[in-house]
Amino acid sequence: MPLSHEADAASKTALKQPVFLHTGWRSAGTWVWSRLRALGGVTGFYEPLSNVLADLRLADVSVSRPTLTSGHPPLHAPYFDEYKPFLHEGAHGVAGYRRQFSVDRFGGAPDAEFPALHAYLRSLCEHAVRQGSVPVLKFCRSSGRLPWLRQAFPDAMHVGVLRNPASQFASGWLLNQQWRNPFFVAAPFRVLGLNRGEPLVKQIIDMCDVKLPPATPASDDAFAIACEQYARSAEGNNAYRAFVALWILCTWRMGQGVDLLVDMDQPGQSREYAARLQAGFEAQSGLSPDFSGARDLVEETRRNATRIAGIDGGSMRAVHSAALKFLKAQSGVEAAFIERVREQMILANELTAQWR
């Protein structure tokens, strides 16, 4: 029986909007976002916390497109097209954005910058809603602040995008190895270093035996430069340990509560999983993205194993075990979620065993 007008309106009101995608670098989160952005009635904000937005100009938007080395899907519009209303001719920077937003935080309580961050994200969402559109925000720097964002945006659908750590790390490691792009190797060192004052961050640094850059410059920007320099010659095993330490911190935050978890190891291997994922989005947000074209990212990692150089993969079992032990010790994480992560660690053991 079709819904009455009143029941249909109530159903739509009950849907969660906006949609926040909490992802990691090289997690295939951009692909998930692109599937949602391609839908009619969606305004897809790409990386609302990226430091690039501090210097973005209107003239830069048209050239912000995927490169041959990015691995990102073709996009019908430039990455930052949706920010045009927040940019002004002759000026730099997205209105409301602050550089301090670009570093994820893992404290239990919101920091001093959070009210400004909340206001900025709310302005993006409200702009989309005024246009009669559903805002979809794709983050790479939000997982640590996920509990803060859930409280600040209780009507949003919070989605966690998770990829096994071996595949995710390998994607960034190869970019540095082949194209001398150290960003994705440097990022975990930077985030861990700037959060080392948090007890749980210090704990996982020690458990994973991460050696951070010796420099502790006064500013975040100076430390970012130091980390990129460190990453250019970082010992491979240490780079992977740092990556896993940050990965498990972000995973822990997702385990504390997301409305939907996207396991990116599965859509390319299972049409049934891709269909369930589509149904999950539709049930909670009313959006019905098509995930049937997903690549098999696990098989790609297997094929690229011989290209990974400078890492003793056989020794990585210990860091996977330490990370899982850390997660199990945290309160508020359901057993089913821990089991999902355990399965990803088993897969990561298999994949890293081929690295030399």
pLDDT tens figures, 89-113: 989 999 999 999 999 999 999 999 9
Residue 67 maps to a domain: yes
How are strands ordered across the β-sheet holding 134-139?
42-46, 134-139, 19-22, 157-162, 260-263
**Residue 247 resides in a domain:** yes
Structural domains of the chain, count: 1
Is 1 inside any structural domain? no
Select from 177, 170, 246 the least CA-distant residue to 208: 246
Contacts of 337 (CB under 8 A, 6+ apart): 254, 255, 261
Q: Which domain holds residue 208?
A: 10-352
Q: At what angle do helices 199-207 and 317-328 cross, to 10 degrees?
A: 150
pTM of the shown model: 0.94
CA distance 279 to 226: 44
Q: What is the CATH number of the domain that holds 78?
A: 3.40.50
220 part of a folded domain: yes
Residue 326 in domain: yes
pLDDT single digits (tens) 129-154: 999 999 999 999 999 999 999 999 99
The answer as to whether 3 is a domain residue is no
Helix, strand, coil % over all residues of the chain, rounded to 5: 55, 5, 40
Each residue's pLDDT, cut to its tens digit, for the chain (356 residues) gives 444 444 444 445 579 999 999 999 999 999 999 999 999 999 999 999 999 999 999 999 999 988 767 778 888 899 999 999 999 998 999 999 999 999 999 999 999 999 999 999 999 999 999 999 999 999 999 999 999 999 999 999 999 999 999 999 999 999 999 888 899 999 999 999 999 999 999 999 999 999 999 877 778 889 999 999 999 988 999 999 999 999 999 999 999 999 999 999 999 999 999 999 999 999 999 999 999 999 999 999 999 999 999 999 999 999 999 999 999 999 999 999 999 999 999 999 999 999 98
Report the pLDDT value the prediction gives residue 7, as an integer from 0 to 100. Answer: 42
d(CA 50, CA 284): 27
In a domain, 302, yes or no: yes
Beta bridge partners of 48: none
Q: Which two tokens stand for residue 77?
A: 């519009």
Name every residue whose Cβ is closer than 8 Å to that of residue 26 and which is 6 or more positions away in sequence.
71, 163, 168, 169, 171, 172, 184
Any idea of the CA torsion for 31, 33, 36, 38, to the nearest 10 degrees? Answer: -70
User: Which among 216, 186, 163, 172 is positioned nearest to 348, based on CA atoms?
Assistant: 163
> Per the domain annotation, does 4 fall within a domain?
no
Q: Distance between terminal CA atoms of the chain?
A: 61
- Rounded to whole angstroms, what are the CA distances from 40 to 37, 43, 96, 287, 328? 8, 9, 27, 9, 41
